[in-house]
Amino acid sequence: MIRIDGDYLEGGGQIARTALALSTITQKSFEVCDIRKGRKDSGLKNQHLYCVKSLQELCNANTEGAELGSLWLKYYPKKIMAKNLNIDIETAGSITLLLQALLMPAMFVSKPITITIKGGTNTKFSMPFDYFNNVLLPQLQRFAKIEAKLLKRGYYPKGNGKVEIKINPKFKLNDFSNFEDFDGYLKQNVHKYNLIEQHHLIQIKGISHASRNLQQANVAERQAESTLSILKQKYNIPINIAAQYQDTLSTGSGITLWAIFSKNKDDIDENNPIRLGADSIGEQGKRAEIVGEEAAHNLIKEIESKAPIDRHLADQLLPFMALIKDSKIKVSEITNHCKTNIYTIQQFLGDIFEVDEKNNTISI
């Protein structure tokens, strides 16, 4: 039983989500204590419980302490099964945060599966679906063919957004007698992460979105126009930001941007795509123009870091880097969130990361 300190450094729910993912594929049981201990509403939230429930469906895991508000959790995984999943978080709990626990094990099942999730698609303190789809997923296609489709947006507090993920695995965990053999095969057959330079900025894309009841006020267009006016002053490249409206249960808006780079001009490297993301979310009383300005300035900050990996993408890539080793990335900022994820990963896979905070590089 691996024992994990849930209050380590940043001490957020990421510790439990990463542990659940790695426990399921390594088949190593774990116990985590003091979950989100320093938070106002400490312990397991609804979103974390659905991470557990989803993985129980995928691998028939046994658990202890999986209750709302629990400060501890024990998790005993079993063999992963290939099955379609239909998950309803029932609140605006983040779909993308749930996928931090579920996606990795689901990528290594024995046949194609479809995962349908209802919940929040654009919420505070989690990556928006558009970032997940356009910044993170291009980095994961080396492991499996993954198609993500937004069926409906869900804003806080009622959620009810809907996402469909289709996964066609390239590497199947159950083809191997143990995780060590599987991991050894991945090391030999998956392209390593080698992301040290930005190279050429060739275009910026984005999606500005809002609930249908904000369409008369042109909220999505105003967010996009505010962003464009700032970015066009900085960069003489194609910039395309789509404005979208949808019927939703709760009022909401936001904008997600991603900058696309190329090592050789106009030649996108599919093995090591370079994309930096940034976003901003609307709130009551917050003008649409401010939302757009925030997103633009956040993206500019990432671009000017000269790093090919933004501060949020680093967190997401670390577990996958750990599976194939011999990889190196340069990030815009090594956050405590990032260090916390390194701590969690190393409980399962050993002391494998080298962190150079002076040069903002992480290698393995």
- The C-alpha torsion from 147 through 277 and 97 to 133, rounded to 10°, is -10
R_g of the chain, CA atoms, integer Å: 20
**Active-site hit among 199, 200, 297, 337:** 337
* DSSP states of 328-346: EEEBS---HHHHHHHHHHH
Q: Please indicate whether residue 337 is annotated as part of the active site.
A: yes
Alpha-carbon gap, residue 348 to 160, rounded angstroms: 35
Is the dihedral angle over the CA atoms 114, 120, 126, 128 positive or is it negative? positive
Quick one: which of 135, 147, 167 has its CA closest to 302?
Answer: 135
Cα–Cα dist 151/149, whole Å: 6
Count Cβ atoms below 10 Å from residue 293 Cβ, excluding itself: 17
CA distance 308 to 319: 18
Residue type, 155: Y
Give catalytic residue positions: 337
